[in-house]
Structure 1
Amino acid sequence: MIPSSFVLFCLGLAAQASAACTREMLQDAAAAYIKAQGAGLPTSPMPAVANNISYAENDKIMDIKTGVLNQAITIDFNRSLYDTTQCATFTELVSASNKPPYVIHTRMLFTADQITTIQSVVTTDGDWAFNATGQLYWNKQETWSTIPESKRDTRAVIQAAGDAYLDSWGDGTVKVPYGTPCARLEGGSYTAGKGSTANTCKMPQFPQPFKITNRRYVVDEEVGGVDIFNDFPFIDKVKPNGTSSTNVVRVEGGMIRYIHEVTKCSTKNCGR
């Protein structure tokens, strides 16, 4: 089951989505998702258009009526990416004033005239470096405005920058296009130096080589953004082969400007 107004909206998308996956359609879809999450609307029987929806939280397939989407959450901040090539959206939600607080990253995929996939990484107290108040504060300080068309990077350049950052965790020889300045928001912790030449995004190589697997992308050339859903190994002692994580990267002129990370933990602070 899915919130009724969200289902009705999905039905309304049918004619438009079947013709083309436009930015406007994706913007409307993300707005409907944000509204549904904020209201925690009552569920209703799943109509035929939603039969193929696959819903997952923290890489676990589940019935949507038991998930976080069926809870009314106070949303203090949101940001979305729109991928018209892949017909997908990414939405970052921060709820610092809710009890419990949440930071939720969600990607939605469209096929023809329906939303076929909703995947979320849902983090709260006890997850890696979690601090929704910090997330809210620092998110509001950043600029993710539209990049003039003549200065936009290609989706290949944007995705490659995000991939290089993840690759560098397990291989210190990988060259990452860090910008100056560059700032990283991990959980609620912000690493940002002072001044235009500050670069505090570089990550040390982890104790043992590893690869970040199960990467899933949403790329938005207009804002230079890429979100990468992935399985982050090493960090969670209970799940050393990988735990649910996402990294959102803003690329400007081929260089990384911002990085956001949220990671789900099996035990408090991933046992560290």
Structure 2
Amino acid sequence: MVFSTLLVGAALASSVSAACTRAQLQDLTVAYIKAQTSGDPKQLPLAANVSYLENDAMLDISKGVLSQKVTVDFNRSLYDTTQCATFTELSAATNSHPYVIDTRILLNDEGKVATVQSLVADAGDWVFDAKSQLSWTQKEKWDTIPEGKRDTRAVLQAAGDLYLDSWTDSNVKVPYGTPCARLEGGSYTGSSNANANTCKMPKFPEDFKIKNRRYIIDEELGGLDIFNDFPFIDKQKPNGTASGNFIRVEGGMIRYIHETTICTTKGCGR
């Protein structure tokens, strides 16, 4: 109950934010990357009561991965001016301890960092391979969508929701693009066939719902990220382990999917 209350509190904190510009959020991302590479969370404009969650566990921000110096090989971000929030995927394959780190940052009314939520994946997490993840993500094109061709927030969120809903309901029609490729941990489903859709997920053998969905949406980049509780995959946490899906949508159709899933035991016990 206490854990649920903490998550609810974090969600409420994230929902109260002032208007902000894309430039301000871009500056925030630059500060976040500096904080991570220097191991100094104070590089960020932290609120006095900042909430820090790592793999869905509440931590002191000075004791989490953000307090470690991490070599960042590549990064890609979303800027959500509606929520005054950012999402950043960091690839740290050449770090002495390889990581893939997905981070949501949410600002309060004063423009201070109210909430930081990170998925910190490393050896033993679901199909983790930092070198492979880095290689594939660097090859992808996430260019700015021309203004007249941008999808609405509703379209972007719906595409992501349909993808997650389809995992246990094969009747759900997911707007997969052609081509479409999924980067699951370090495992890539891409194909040299320009007409291939390699994103479609097989139906899981159990019925479940993906709960606790938290969104960052960027219309200019055609991107969204959904932090969620992924049931089934981790045998030690059947009600859901910390997971995220970072998705690119072009013309209403899904082009890329990145999945990061945290395991309590090596390979989630599978």
What TM-score, normalized to structure 2? Answer: 0.91
Distance in 2 (CA, whole Å) between partners of 1:170 and 1:248 is 19
Residue of structure 1 equivalent to 2:99: 102
Which structure 2 residues correspond to residues 132-147 of structure 1 after superposition, within 5 A? 132-147=130-145
> 1:41 deviation in Å?
2.6
Match of 1:74 among 71, 86, 105: 71
User: CA separation of 1:37/1:174 partners in 2, compared to 1, >3 Å: closer, same or farther?
Assistant: same
5+ residue gaps, structure 2, are 1-16
Q: Which residue of 1 aligns with 2:10?
A: none
| Aligned position for 1:227 | 225
Range with greater deviation from structure 2 (121-130 or 50-59): 50-59
SS in 1 for 2:192: coil
- Structure 2 matches for 1:22-41, cutoff 5 A? 22-41=21-40
Runs (4 or more) in structure 1 with deviation over 2 Å come to 41-44
Question: Secondary structure of the equivalent of 2:166?
Answer: helix
The one of 255, 258, 261 aligned to 1:263: 261
Q: Which amino acid aligns with 1:26?
A: L
CA distance in structure 1 between the aligned counterparts of 2:37 and 2:145, rounded to whole angstroms: 29
What residue in structure 2 maps to residue 254 of structure 1?
A: 252
* AA of the residue aligned to 2:255: R
Q: RMSD of the TM alignment (CA)?
A: 1.6
**Structure 1 residues 43 and 162: alpha-carbon distance in aligned structure 2, compared to 1, 3 A threshold:** closer
Equivalent runs, 1:170-189 vs 2, <5 Å: 170-189=168-187
| Partner in structure 1 of residue 5 of structure 2 | none
Aligned length: 253
Correspondence for 1:61 = 58
Uncovered stretches (5+) of structure 1, i.e. residues with no partner: 1-16
Q: CA deviation at 1:52?
A: 2.3
For 2:91 and 2:21, the matched residues in 1 are separated by: 26
How far 1:43 sits from its partner (Å)? 6.2
Give the distance between the partners of 2:40 and 2:131, measured in 1 at CA. Answer: 25
Note if contact 2:124-2:266 (Cα within 8 Å) is conserved in structure 1.
yes
Could you say what secondary structure the match of 2:49 adopts? coil
* 1:195-206 pair list within 5 angstroms: 195-206=193-204
> Any conservation in 2 of the 1:43–1:70 contact (CA below 8 Å)?
no
- The code of the aligned residue for 2:196 comes to A
Name the SS of the counterpart of 1:29 in structure 2.
helix
% same residue: 67
